[in-house]
Amino acid sequence: MRAIRCSIALLILFATGCAPAVMSAERSGTASATSEIRLADATIELSYTGDAASLDRNELREWITASASAVQSYYGRFPVKRLRIRIEAGEGRGAQSGTTYAYNGALIRVGVGRYSDSADLKRDWIMTHEMVHLAMPDFAQRHAWLEEGLATYVEPIARVQVGQLTEKKIWRDMLQDMPKGLPAAGDQGLDNTHTWGRTYWGGALFYLLADVRIRERTGNRAGLQDALRAIVANGGNVEVSWDVRRTLAMGDRATGTNVLIELYDEMRATPVSPDLEQLWQRLGVKRIGDSVEWDDNAPLAGIRKTITAPPAN
Three-state secondary structure call for residue 229: helix
Q: Say how far apart CA 147 and CA 31 lie, in whole Å.
A: 34
- pTM (whole model) above 0.75: yes
218 HSE (CA, 13 A, CB side)? 23
Q: Say how far apart CA 15 and CA 4 lie, in whole Å.
A: 25
Give the contacts of 44 (CB within 8 A, at least 6 positions apart).
Answer: 36, 37, 38, 64, 68, 82, 83, 84, 85
User: Exposed (0-12), middle (13-18) or buried (19+): which is 50, by Cβ within 10 Å?
Assistant: middle
Give the contacts of 72 (CB within 8 A, at least 6 positions apart).
Answer: 18, 20, 39, 40, 41, 42, 78
Residue 254 Cα distances to 135, 165, 193, 247, 259, angstroms: 16, 28, 30, 11, 11
pLDDT of residue 189: 98
What average pLDDT does the segment 118-125 reach?
91
Write out pLDDT tens, residues 159-197: 999 999 999 999 999 999 999 999 999 999 999 999 999
Model confidence at 158: pLDDT above 80: yes
What average pLDDT does the segment 273-278 reach?
98
pLDDT of residue 116: 85
Query: For 48-91, where are the alpha helices, taking DSSP H only?
Result: 57-75
**Is residue 255 a contact partner of residue 214, using CB atoms and an 8 Å limit?**
yes
290 HSE (CA, 13 A, CB side)? 0
Q: Say how far apart CA 22 and CA 39 lie, in whole Å.
A: 5
Write out pLDDT tens, residues 194-241: 999 999 999 999 999 999 999 999 999 999 999 999 999 999 999 999
Q: Say how far apart CA 182 and CA 276 lie, in whole Å.
A: 10
What average pLDDT does the segment 43-47 reach?
94
